[in-house]
């Protein structure tokens, strides 16, 4: 394709997407035509965030909360209007026959049993990401989803994020030209430890710090970013090398509070993963670096940084720009042409809700409108097994091969 043809193609493809792609998601809040009941399994930190986002949807009612810890259960029930509490899933399923959609927000290593039980019972399931903490459990979930009549949606939030979907359309239409490298950065000043009154509860409560079950920072945080990058480039790495250490939180933990990993792709392209609990500098973002531009994604926001020799695209007349030191980023905005005509371009910058909202919306819509889940178990499998392999590399401070069969479920 010549540069003239390429410019015309990009202007038409990207410009049209800016004008129309995101309007349904952001223009009018979605609500199911019929009242929808939802059950929540797991009322920990993530479960409470889920309840907060579900409360924003009209015609959606949290009817049941499953949580064995009485204090957590009581706290969650106070956040809902009509939910009933249950100490286990069996009790909830026996009493909640009208609840057909369930959200599994248990610790990662406990995903498999409730997901399989719900699918066997014919219920629709939203499973938090990653799928599982072992490849065997992830395979079991994928195989169960293949044979189920109900829907399974996995909570990798990049694929349902409207800004990320827009950015992916730019990448797929060639806006950054040749892909050169990728980066996933996740930094928070936090220790991941929750205080407990009874020391006997420490291991269960602070499961993310337990090396017997946790995938650490790479699994619990960076796997979302890995999934986003895999979704963009549609490639699989061939090896990963990693390392990490406890550099700040010297409280007896053995899982690193700071990690690094490099995922190597055919042809020499690398994706670098950097995560820490010791600093909040630069926050969380993903980069896709190309020969004609770089895409930066940061949860509610996205930017395109163009090289000086990149062709000018027609939609840029509507673009809002933001300065980053010596670089100028074109802000990726939903419905940019319409907003520009109304003189409201800056009002469209950023998402009105956190990415979790749009993940839950996608699941609820799939159930209510009988749609195919946007993030299937098959989709989520690659990032899950990469997180498992990458965590192994980090713990051993070595390199791990990633053969093609690693990504095959079989069956």
Strand blocks (E) in 121-255:
124-127, 152-154, 179-187, 239-245
CA 279 to chain centre: 22
Phi-psi region of 174 (alpha: psi -120 to 50; beta: other; left: phi over 0): left
| Tens digits of residue pLDDT in 49-100 | 999 999 999 999 999 999 999 999 999 999 998 899 999 999 999 999 999 9
| Lowest mean pLDDT across 122-131, 183-192, 290-299, 322-331 | 322-331
Number of residues assigned to the chain:
411
229: region left, alpha or beta (phi > 0 left; psi from -120 to 50 alpha): alpha
Do residues 118 and 145 make contact, with C-beta atoms less than 8 angstroms apart? no
The 10s digit of each residue's pLDDT in 245-275 is: 999 999 999 999 999 999 999 999 999 999 9
Residue with tokens 């204090």: 71
User: How much is the pLDDT for 131?
Assistant: 98
Q: Can you tell me the distance from the alpha carbon of 162 to that of 300, in angstroms, rounded to the nearest whole number?
A: 9
**Antiparallel, parallel or unpaired: β 327-331 and 320-324:** antiparallel
The span from the CA of 15 to the CA of 407, in Å, is 35
Evaluate the CA torsion angle 165, 170, 174, 175 in order and state its sign: negative
Strands 320-324 and 399-401: unpaired
DSSP state of 135: H
Q: Which residue has the tokens 């719900």?
A: 118
d(CA 133, CA 79): 29
pLDDT tens, position by position, 206-228? 999 999 999 999 999 999 999 99
**Strands of 156-225, DSSP E:** 179-187
Alpha helices by DSSP H, 242-376: 336-341, 355-368
Tell me the pTM.
0.89
pLDDT at site 335: 52
Residue 108: its pLDDT value, please?
Answer: 98
pLDDT of residue 312: 77
Looking at per-residue pLDDT, the higher value among 411 and 331 belongs to 331
| Tokens 């809700």 -> residue | 353
DSSP category for residue 143: H
Q: Is the CATH code 3.30.930.10 the one for domain 3-23+159-349+378-404?
A: no
Question: Which 3 state secondary structure label does DSSP give 325?
Answer: coil
Question: What is the residue extent of each domain of the chain?
Answer: 3-23+159-349+378-404, 28-157
Do residues 40 and 65 lie in contact, with contact meaning Cβ atoms separated by under 8 Å? yes
pLDDT band, residue 11 (cuts 50/70/90): very low
Q: How far is CA 38 from CA 85, 103, 106, 142, 365, in A?
A: 13, 7, 16, 22, 12
Whole-angstrom CA distances from 201 to 86, 100, 204 are: 20, 32, 6
| Exposure letters 72-82 (e unless 16+ CB within 10 A, then b) | bbebbbebbee
Q: Are 271 and 257 in contact (CB under 8 A)?
A: no
The answer to whether residues 81 and 57 touch, using CB atoms and an 8 Å cutoff, is no
Distances (CA, A) of 182 to 188, 268, 384: 20, 12, 18
Mean pLDDT for the chain overall: 89
CATH class as words, domain 28-157:
alpha beta
Secondary structure letter of residue 373 according to DSSP: P
- Residue found by looking up tokens 């907003």 in the block: 339
Residue 14's H or E segment, with its range, is helix 3-20
The helix (H) or strand (E) run that includes residue 199 is: none
């Amino acid at each position: 394709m010549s540069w003239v043809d390429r410019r015309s193609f990009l202007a038409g493809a990207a410009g049209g997407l800016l004008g129309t792609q995101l309007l349904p998601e952001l223009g009018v809040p979605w609500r199911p035509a019929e009242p929808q009941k939802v059950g929540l399994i797991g009322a920990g930190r993530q479960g409470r965030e889920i309840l907060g986002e579900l409360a924003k949807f009209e015609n959606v009612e949290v009817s049941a909360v499953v949580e064995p810890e009485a204090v957590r259960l009581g706290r969650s029930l106070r956040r809902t209007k009509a939910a009933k509490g249950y100490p286990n899933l069996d009790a909830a399923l026996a009493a909640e026959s009208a609840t057909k959609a369930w959200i599994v927000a248990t610790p990662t290593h406990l995903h498999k049993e409730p997901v399989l039980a719900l699918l066997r019972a014919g219920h629709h399931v939203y499973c938090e990401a990653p799928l599982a903490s072992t490849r065997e459990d992830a395979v079991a979930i994928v195989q169960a989803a293949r044979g189920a009549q109900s829907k399974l949606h996995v909570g990798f939030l990049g694929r349902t994020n409207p800004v990320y979907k827009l950015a992916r359309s730019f990448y797929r239409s060639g806006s950054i030209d040749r892909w050169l490298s990728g980066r996933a950065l996740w930094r928070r000043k936090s220790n991941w430890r929750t205080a407990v009154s009874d020391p006997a509860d420490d291991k269960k409560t602070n499961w993310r710090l337990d090396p017997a079950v946790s995938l650490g920072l790479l699994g619990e945080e960076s796997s979302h970013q890995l999934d986003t990058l895999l979704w963009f480039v549609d490639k699989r790495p061939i090896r990963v090398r990693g390392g990490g250490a406890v550099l700040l939180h010297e409280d007896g933990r053995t899982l690193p509070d700071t990690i690094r990993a490099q995922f190597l792709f055919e042809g020499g392209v690398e994706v670098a993963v950097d995560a820490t609990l010791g600093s909040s500098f630069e926050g969380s973002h993903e980069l896709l670096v190309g020969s004609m531009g770089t895409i930066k994604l940061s949860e509610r926001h996205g930017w395109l940084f163009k090289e000086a020799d990149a062709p000018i695209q027609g939609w840029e007349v509507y673009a809002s720009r933001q300065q980053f030191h010596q670089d100028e980023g074109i802000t990726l905005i939903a419905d940019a042409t319409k907003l520009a005509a109304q003189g409201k371009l800056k009002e469209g910058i950023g998402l009105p809700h956190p990415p979790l909202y749009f993940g839950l919306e996608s699941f609820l819509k799939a159930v209510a409108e009988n749609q195919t889940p946007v993030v299937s178990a098959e989709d989520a499998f690659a990032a899950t097994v990469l997180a498992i392999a990458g965590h192994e590399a980090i713990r051993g401070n070595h390199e791990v091969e990633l053969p093609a069969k690693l990504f095959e479920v079989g069956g």
